[in-house]
Chains A and B, each alone.
Chain A
Amino acid sequence: MLTPVVLSGAVSSFDLLAWSSPGWGATLVAGLWNTCLIAFGAYALGLLIGVAGAFGKLYGGPVTRDFLGVYTTLVRAVPELVLLLIMNFAVRDLINQAMLAMGYGRVELSGVAIGIIILGVVQGAYSTEVLRGAILSVPAGQIEAARAMGMSPTLLARRITLPLMAAAAVPGLANLWLTVTKDTALLSVLGFIELTKATSLAAQTTKAFFTFYLAAGVLYLALSLVSVVIFGRIERWARKGQRTLEGGAH
């Protein structure tokens, strides 16, 4: 039913997607670039928070653990859009107040940087949980065996704990990456120029809604498919040398 319309719309307004003006191709690709930049930065920041959070939750003192519990619960119970909106104001306010208090002038953080910070803090809560689960999944017997063989703690971490943990964490972390690429779209509501905002700018200016939203959908989909392939490779690499599930079950 829909397909003919969609196709005819796409063909007749194909010029709109041309690379240079009056086409909006370059605008969309620039938006995609920002989306990737923010997603990558937020993911990395989230991983940093996640590693610290996971170790804090497992081995930290009681206060640390309670604070981390509040952080992960809060972030996972409140809609991302609301969190991003609050932090978008709060982070800028806090940074500027800190700078003024230290006697510097206001700083203007770029949209990309703010996007990375606020999305990263949200991601951090989920990363904490994924990594905590991964650490817990390392069988205690393996660690004990390594200790019994006289492995030093660093060697133990390098040879046993980290590789086993990485293998267990990859699927969860892959999911988080896919989530963060899509969550960047929420930043468009706050006025950040990323793929979705670039798309609606183009769509509103040209009135070619179907063309541009479909084009953006294809770009997002391509990003996610490429990511799935890459993470598949990583997972295979991380599971190298481990008995596969099939091998263990029979």
Chain B
Amino acid sequence: MLEFFRPLHRQVLAVIAVLTIWACAHYLNWDWLTQYRGEIISGIWITIWMTIASMVLGMVLATMLGLAQAAGPRWLALPARTYCTIIRGTPLLLQLYLLYYGLGWYFSGQPEIRQSIFWPILKAAPPYGLLALTLSVAGYEGEVMRGAFKGVPHGQLEAARAMGVPRFTAFRRIWLPQALHRALPTIGGETVLQMKSTPLLAMITIMDLYGVLNRVRRDTLLTYEPLLLLALIYMILAGLLVLFFRWLENRLPQRTA
């Protein structure tokens, strides 16, 4: 840390940075912070949970998509590839609208769905948001996992087969862990990207971090202050994610022999 600030120019830059932050804190209007504190914290939680949940669910789906493309028969590989192409070729915002307004509207027009016990879930916005984010992760990570599965040396699988290890066990104990390990650096980066796409949830009434601070912006008619805080919180979250994945990568043993 001290080493970082050794060069003179860094010290000057650090002073400028501190002065800028002080000026922002002093001259801009932050009176609204106390009033909206609770909402901001709940917004942060929604952002975090949506990121984690969609990443986990999406990775499960992505593993299947990757496997289908890397080792599946043609009738499985082709649909999996088409799916990834479609998801990656269209904006998430459009997918979100299509699911929430399109699919949701269709559901609401079906009496059997509207009278079923699932309607309270199907009428709320978060399931559609989570679905859209999950499908999107799956599309992007499906490609990553395909590469990761293909990257595992064939000899390992052949050795397992030669030793009479059942196919599923070989997959679970050898192929999948190695593929995941290979994909881990990419997954870390993609998690940050995923968090960065959660603000779109506010477009379908979900009050995530972006939704909350945008409401502050509208209530207070301040142009910049809420947006600056918003950027700051996202930067902190992104930093934490990067640190977490670095820790995770170091924890996993690198076996090179």
Using CB atoms and an 8 Å cutoff, list the residues of chain A in contact with chain B: 2, 5, 62-63, 66, 74, 76-83, 85-86, 89-90, 178, 182-186, 188-189, 196, 199-200, 203, 209-210, 213-214, 216-217, 220-221, 223-225
Q: Which residues does chain A contribute within 8 Å of B198, judged by CB atoms?
A: 79
**Given A185-B94, A220-B89, also A82-B230 (CB < 8 A):** yes
Interface residues of B in 93-122 (CB under 8 A from A): 93-95, 97-98, 101-103, 105-106
- Please tell me if the beta carbons of A79 and B9 are within 8 angstroms of each other in the complex: no
Is B101's CB under 8 angstroms from A209's CB? Answer: yes
Contact with A along B196-207 (1 / 0, CB 8 A): 111110010000
User: Which DSSP category, helix, strand, loop or mixed, fits chain B's interface?
Assistant: helix
- Answer yes or no: B64 CB below 8 A from chain A CBs: no
Is A213 in contact with B94, judged by CB distance below 8 angstroms? yes
One of B10, B95, B106, B234 near A79 (C-beta < 8 A) = B234
B90 contacts A by Cβ under 8 Å: yes
Given contacts A77-B239, A78-B196, A221-B89, contact A86 B106 (CB under 8 A): no
Question: Is B102 within 8 A of A210, CB to CB?
Answer: yes
Which 8 pairs from chain A and chain B are nearest by CB?
A185-B91, A224-B89, A77-B238, A79-B196, A221-B89, A182-B91, A213-B98, A77-B235
Main secondary structure of the interface of A (DSSP, over half): helix
Q: How far is the CA of A217 from the CA of B85 in the complex (A)?
A: 12
**Beta-carbon nearest neighbor of A79 in chain B:** B196
B227:A85 contact, CB within 8 angstroms:
yes
Answer yes or no: B131 CB below 8 A from chain A CBs: no
Known: A82-B231, A209-B102. A62 touches B94 (CB 8 A): no
A residues in contact with B98, CB < 8 Å: 209-210, 213-214, 217
Chain A proximity of B82: nearest CB distance (Å): 11
Residues of B within 8 A of A209 (CB): 97-98, 101-102, 105
Distance between B133 CB and nearest chain A CB, rounded to angstroms: 13
B81 adjacent to chain A (CB < 8 Å): no
A83 CA / B10 CA spacing, docked (Å): 26
CB-based contact A62/B9 at 8 Å: yes
Complex Cα–Cα for A62 and B7 (A): 9
